[in-house]
Amino acid sequence: MDIDHLKLAQKVIELSGGKDALNAEMDRKLSLINEKWNQDVDAIGRILRSHLFVEHFLTEYLIALNPNLGDLKGTRLTFSQKLSLVENHSNETKELASGIRRLNSIRNQLAHRLEAKVTDQDKESLLSLHSFRYLREALAKPDVPSSDNLVVLEDFAKHVGSRLASLADPEDLSARISQAMCELAVETLIN
* Tens of pLDDT, residues 122-166: 999 999 999 999 999 999 999 999 999 999 999 999 999 999 998
Neighbour-count burial of 155, counting CB atoms closer than 10 A to its CB (0-12 exposed, 13-18 middle, 19+ buried): buried
Residues 133 and 155: their CA atoms lie apart, in Å, by: 10
pLDDT (tens digit per residue) in 2-59: 889 998 999 899 999 999 999 999 989 999 888 888 888 999 999 999 999 999 999 9
Domain range spanning residue 42? 37-190
pLDDT, residue 172, reads 64
Does the pTM surpass 0.85? The reply is: no
Residues 60 and 74: their CA atoms lie apart, in Å, by: 13
Residues 99 and 47: their CA atoms lie apart, in Å, by: 14
Name the residue among 167, 90, 191 with its Cα closest to residue 183: 191
Q: What is the largest CA-CA distance in the chain?
A: 92
119 falls in which pLDDT band (50, 70, 90)?
very high
Contact 114, 84 (CB under 8 A): no
The answer to whether residue 123 sits within a structural domain is yes
The answer to whether residue 113 sits within a structural domain is yes
The answer to whether residue 75 sits within a structural domain is yes
The answer to whether residue 22 sits within a structural domain is no
Name the residue among 120, 132, 113, 128 with its Cα closest to residue 54: 132
The answer to whether residue 82 sits within a structural domain is yes
pLDDT (tens digit per residue) in 159-188: 999 999 988 886 766 666 767 777 787 787
Q: Give me the number of domains the chain comprises.
A: 1
The answer to whether residue 27 sits within a structural domain is no
The answer to whether residue 32 sits within a structural domain is no
The answer to whether residue 47 sits within a structural domain is yes
Neighbour-count burial of 185, counting CB atoms closer than 10 A to its CB (0-12 exposed, 13-18 middle, 19+ buried): exposed
Helices marked H in 39-90: 41-65, 79-86
pLDDT, residue 2, reads 87
